[in-house]
């Protein structure tokens, strides 16, 4: 069914169709519309879930953990400080191998109070054992949320999945949304280690070094296995519903001399910049990174690479640029742009490409060494 929706509403639509048994959430700008919409679906009876209006994000994730270990499908949504406040529990969720799905509406971190888009919030969760996908359109927000449940609950994965949407730039903009009849696309949740009072077990108690080490390795093994599950799920989604996704979304990359890599809405904006640059005779391409964890194998051999980070690791560099350089062993032109919701247009992106200096870092709007 075709309609017009915001990114937030698209996520809520997907949640309604996935029918989690428990949703526990705490409001924060710009995520509020997701939880308001889900709460409305629950109160109108359109969604048969228990909605727990918890008193904090720490409790939101703890409640999802408590619900999930019974074998129930669970969902929450947050943003920025909310995500950081639940950091202890995001680690717990992954370590406990619980397939919780969370929408995170990417937002800057204080101080000062800044409610606009930035990826540093989710990237501070990079090492927790969550799968992370970054979307760029309302349609993709809906599709990725649906797929997140199937991927997380797949018994070769059993890790939580975070779906990331840029605050306001995607959470609050209206775009066409084609909702689908998902039928049996998401199989019933089956948690092999769910609590069973008839077969009592201890969960997460004292664990010695050797066992703990093995549990950590198990997380990594499942993270590696998730590559196959993600690919299968996205292939199946394309086959059944006609929309194709991958670890990256490549636009005119094959013959390109220079490739722009970014996540979220910046990655979509980069496609417009590519068109502009191609008209000028610069053979540019765009590779929008969708999955940050597991991190895909990128083939950038013989290409010049411009990475745009809407995030930063102080004392090190743009997080995406650092990841890409570590994985591909290629030097890049690292652009830091869009922090705190700074406006970045396709013309700005084209200018980054025109004036690229591989091996350097450039803070858009701050330094003038371009």
Quote the least distance from Cβ 232 to other proteins, whole Å. Answer: 28
Q: Which residues contact 289 (CB under 8 A, 6 or more apart)?
A: 134, 247, 248, 261, 262, 263, 267, 296, 320
Window of 33-41, 192-200, 246-254, 356-364 that interacts with other proteins by CB under 8 A: 192-200
Q: Tell me, what DSSP letter sits at residue 220? A: H
Of 32-91, which residues contact other proteins (CB under 8 A)? 49-50, 52-56, 58-60, 62-72, 74, 88-89
We find the least distance from the C-beta atom of residue 128 to other proteins, in angstroms, to be 13
| Adjacency order of strands within the sheet including 161-166 | 50-53, 22-25, 74-78, 101-106, 161-166, 131-134, 291-293
Candidate list 183, 201, 242, 301; residue touching other proteins; CB under 8 A: 201
Q: Which of residues 89-128 bind other proteins (CB under 8 A)?
A: 89, 92
Whole-angstrom distance, CA of residue 292 vs CA of residue 131: 8
205 part of the interface to other proteins, by CB under 8 A: yes
Nearer to other proteins, 86 or 117 (CB): 86
Q: Toward other proteins, which CB reaches closer, 11 or 64?
A: 64
**Residue nearer to other proteins on the CB measure, 64 or 146:** 64
State which residue, 181 or 210, has the beta carbon closest to other proteins: 210
Is 267:288 a contact under the CB 8 Å cutoff? yes
User: 43 or 207, CB closer to other proteins?
Assistant: 207
| Shorter beta-carbon distance to other proteins: residue 62 or 103 | 62
Q: Find out whether 98 and 69 touch, Cβ atoms under 8 Å.
A: yes
Helix (H, G, I), strand (E, B) or coil at 285: strand
Q: Could you tell me which stretch among 20-28, 120-128, 176-184, 332-340 binds other proteins (CB under 8 A)?
A: 20-28
> What is the nearest approach in angstroms of other proteins to the Cβ of residue 76?
10
How far lies 48's CA from each of 23, 34, 147, 188, in Å?
Answer: 10, 16, 20, 15
Please identify, using beta-carbon distances, which residue of 88 and 280 lies nearer to other proteins. Answer: 88
CA dist., res. 296 & res. 320, Å (int)? 12
Q: With respect to other proteins, which residue has the nearer C-beta, 196 or 257?
A: 196
* DSSP code string of 72-132: --EEEEE-HHHHHHTHHHHHHHHHTT---EEEEEE---SSS---S--SHHHHTTTTSS-EE
Residues 149-188: x where in contact with other proteins by CB under 8 A, - otherwise, as a string = ----------------------------------------
Tell me how far, at minimum, the Cβ of 165 lies from other proteins, in Å: 24
- The residues facing 360 across adjacent strands are none
* H/E element, 261: strand 258-262
CB of 126 to other proteins, least distance (A): 20
Q: Which of 14, 31, 132, 126 is nearest to 73 (CA)?
A: 14
- Spell out a b/e string for 249-276, using b for 16 or more CB atoms within 10 Å of the CB, else e: bebbbeebebbbbbbbbbbbbbbbbbeb
Among the candidate windows 10-18, 163-171, 196-204, 218-226, which touches other proteins by CB under 8 A? Answer: 196-204
| Interface size with other proteins, residues (CB under 8 A) | 42
Residues that bind other proteins (CB under 8 A): 21-22, 24, 49-50, 52-56, 58-60, 62-72, 74, 88-89, 92, 195-198, 200-208, 211
């Amino acid at each position: 069914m075709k309609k017009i929706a915001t990114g937030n509403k698209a996520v809520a639509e997907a949640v309604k169709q996935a029918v989690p048994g428990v949703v526990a959430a705490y409001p924060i700008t710009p995520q509020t519309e997701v939880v308001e919409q889900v709460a409305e679906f629950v109160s109108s009876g359109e969604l048969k879930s228990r909605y727990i209006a918890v008193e904090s994000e720490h409790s939101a994730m703890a409640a999802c953990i408590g619900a999930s270990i019974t074998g129930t499908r669970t969902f929450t949504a947050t943003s920025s400080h909310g995500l950081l406040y639940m950091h202890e529990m995001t680690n717990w969720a992954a370590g406990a191998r619980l397939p919780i799905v969370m929408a995170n509406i990417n937002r800057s971190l204080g101080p000062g109070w800044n409610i606009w888009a930035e990826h540093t919030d989710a990237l501070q969760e990079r090492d927790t054992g969550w799968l992370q996908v970054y979307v760029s359109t309302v349609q993709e927000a809906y599709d990725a949320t649906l797929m997140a449940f199937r991927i997380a609950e797949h018994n070769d994965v059993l890790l939580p999945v975070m779906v990331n949407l840029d605050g306001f730039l995607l959470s609050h903009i209206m775009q066409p949304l084609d909702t689908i009849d998902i039928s049996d696309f998401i199989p019933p949740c089956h948690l092999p280690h769910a609590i069973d009072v008839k077969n009592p077990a201890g969960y997460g108690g004292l664990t010695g070094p050797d066992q703990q080490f093995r549990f950590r390795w198990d997380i990594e093994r499942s993270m590696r296995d998730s590559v196959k599950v993600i690919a299968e799920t996205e292939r199946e989604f394309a086959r059944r519903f006609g929309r194709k996704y991958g670890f990256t979304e490549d636009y005119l990359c094959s013959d390109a001399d220079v490739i722009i890599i970014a996540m979220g809405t910046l990655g979509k904006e980069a496609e417009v910049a590519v068109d502009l640059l191609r008209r000028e005779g610069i053979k540019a391409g765009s590779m929008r990174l969708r999955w940050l964890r597991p991190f895909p194998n990128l083939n950038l051999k013989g290409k010049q690479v411009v990475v745009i980070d809407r995030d930063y690791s102080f004392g090190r560099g743009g997080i995406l640029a650092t990841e890409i350089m570590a994985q591909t062993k290629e030097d890049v032109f690292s652009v830091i742009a869009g922090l705190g919701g700074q406006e970045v247009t396709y013309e700005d992106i084209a200018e980054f490409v025109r004036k690229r200096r591989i091996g350097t870092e450039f803070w858009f709007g701050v330094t003038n060494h371009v």
